[in-house]
Structure 1
Amino acid sequence: MPVLIVIPARYASTRYPGKPLVALSGATGESRTLIERSWRAAMSVSGIDRVVVATDDDRIRETAEGFGAEVVMTSSDCRNGTERCAEAHDRLGGGYDIVVNLQGDAPLTPHWFIEDLVAGLRCAPDAGVATPVLRCDGAALNGFLNDRRHGRVGGTTAVFAADRTALYFSKEVIPFTSRRYADDEPTPVFHHVGVYAYRPDALAAYPGWPIGPLEELEGLEQLRFMENGRKVLCVEVEARGRQFWELNNPEDVARIEAMMAGMGLE
């Protein structure tokens, strides 16, 4: 079952223009762009047949080709990463059984998150899409709540049924809990990791659906699948001592650099 990883990247981000080209310094002080770090994360995943960067911007293309990435140019009309992945898969001629969307703002994504995600989708033939979720400890939950108190859009949270079918995703912290948790204590809140694995038929159908009210309100692309009756599987992954965060806002640069330094990542 051939697997393709697509890293969608656009320059004109609403919250953070030019984000893929932002420089991040690791534990050794070496500076690499966000898009290069995301590509390196993708290249570390086992069982993958091809990795491409999908963009509509020549600055990103030139940067990506400069560090050795294969680039697929896509339309500027793509409204989100899933639409860009669908176009990239089509431009490559299809032929992949699973297409992984590793968003270009998640350089701390461990390889086993994606390996477990692909394995989870393979074991769930009735699911068109799968995405990882990570149980928050008290420290992570308090970080989410602190972001919301200060008006920052932090990570996304997920709730799902007993069979791991997603019930909802939100940029608010769900489910609500009034209890206080110790930093190392597991909580009932799950951090949605912004990676997706699609079956080709679900991915191809996606761009033809209109943006629904929930996707519009939350700004979360995966809700379009749910609003159109497609099952989204949540695959629980383990941190194994690794910290994880996406680069959503300019303030996240320092946070991610501190995490890389703390984990000894170059």
Structure 2
Amino acid sequence: MSIVCIIPARYASTRYPGKPLAELRGATRVARSLIERSWRAACEVSRFDAIYVATDDDRIAEAARGFGAAVLMTSDRCRNGTERCAEALGLLGDTVEMVVNLQGDAPLTPPWFLEALIDGLQADSQAALATPILRCDGQTLAALKADRAAGRVGGTTAVCDSERHALYFSKEVIPFTSTDYAPEADTPVFHHVGVYAYRPWALHAYPDWSMGVLETMEGLEQLRFLEAGHKVRCVEVEARGRKFWELNNPEDIPRIEAMLAEMGLP
């Protein structure tokens, strides 16, 4: 099976322009861009036959080639990372059997998340795509609630059925719970990890589907699959002591840098 990882990246982000080139310092205090750290995360996965940065911006392309990444230039018409991956897949021909979308704002994604994602889609013939979910501990749940209370759009949460197919994704914290949890305690809330594994037919079809009400309201690209009636497999992954957070806002930089330092990641 040919498994390709595509890292979509755009410069003109509404909430955080230039985000892929934002620099982060880890345990060694060496500054590396967000897109480079995401690419390095992908390089830790041995099951990828190829890894590409897909972008419409020459600044990102130049930076990516500078640290050794292969680049696919896509148009500026892509409205989200999934559409950019679909366009990139069109440039690669018909030999690809699975596409993994490692979004360029997820530098803390450990390799076993991506390996579990690949296995999850291969094992579920009903699903058009698969995506990881991580059970929140009390500390992470408190951080999600704090972001919302401050009016920031932070992490995304997910709820699933008994077969681990997605029921809904939201930028609100769902399901509601009024319980106060200890920092290390498990909670009933799952943090959605913004990574996807697609079957090529679903990725090719995606740009032709209309944006539904839910996708438009939430600003979450994966909801288009649910609104079109396709199953999304949620693969529960384990942190194994690793911290996870996505870079959504400038305020996330010190949080991620602290996590990198705490985990001893360069």
Could you state the TM-score of these two structures normalised by the residue count of structure 1?
0.99
- 1:157 partner SS: strand
5+ long unaligned stretches in structure 1: none
**2:219 matched to 1:219?**
yes
Distance 1:202 1:89 in 2: 11
**2:178 matched to 1:178?**
yes
Distance 1:7 1:224 in 2: 20
Code of the residue aligned with 1:219 in structure 2: it is G
Distance 2:92 2:75 in 1: 14
Deviation at 1:263, TM superposition (A): 0.4
Alignment match, 1:21: 21
Code of the residue aligned with 2:99 in structure 1: it is V
- 2:127 partner SS: coil
Cα offsets for 1:20-66 (capped at 9, x unmatched): 00111110110010000000000101211000000000000000001
How many residue pairs are counted as aligned between the two chains?
Answer: 266
Deviation at 1:126, TM superposition (A): 1.1
Distance 2:35 2:205 in 1: 27
Structure 2 counterparts to residues 14-163 of structure 1, below 5 A: 14-163=14-163
Distance 2:221 2:56 in 1: 19
Distance 2:250 2:137 in 1: 24
The root-mean-square deviation of aligned C-alpha atoms, in Å, is 0.5
Distance 1:94 1:74 in 2: 18
**2:255 matched to 1:264?**
no
Deviation at 1:94, TM superposition (A): 3.1
**2:243 matched to 1:236?**
no
Code of the residue aligned with 2:108 in structure 1: it is L
Code of the residue aligned with 1:246 in structure 2: it is E
Distance 1:249 1:5 in 2: 24
Distance 1:204 1:234 in 2: 21
Distance 2:94 2:45 in 1: 21
Distance 1:150 1:23 in 2: 24
Code of the residue aligned with 1:184 in structure 2: it is E
Alignment match, 2:206: 206
Distance 1:179 1:23 in 2: 37
Code of the residue aligned with 2:128 in structure 1: it is G
Alignment match, 1:168: 168
Code of the residue aligned with 1:145 in structure 2: it is K
Distance 2:94 2:146 in 1: 43
Cα offsets for 1:201-247 (capped at 9, x unmatched): 01011000111100000000000000000100000000000000000
Distance 1:34 1:139 in 2: 24
- 1:118 partner SS: helix
5+ long unaligned stretches in structure 2: none
Distance 1:21 1:79 in 2: 19
| Deviation >2 Å, runs of 4+ | none
Distance 2:256 2:40 in 1: 16
Deviation at 1:92, TM superposition (A): 1.3
Could you state the TM-score of these two structures normalised by the residue count of structure 2?
0.99
Cα offsets for 1:70-108 (capped at 9, x unmatched): 000001000000000000011111311110000000000
Code of the residue aligned with 1:238 in structure 2: it is E
Code of the residue aligned with 1:190 in structure 2: it is F
Identity of aligned residues (%): 68
- 2:68 partner SS: coil
Distance 2:245 2:134 in 1: 11
Distance 2:224 2:263 in 1: 35
- 1:256 partner SS: helix
Distance 1:179 1:46 in 2: 41
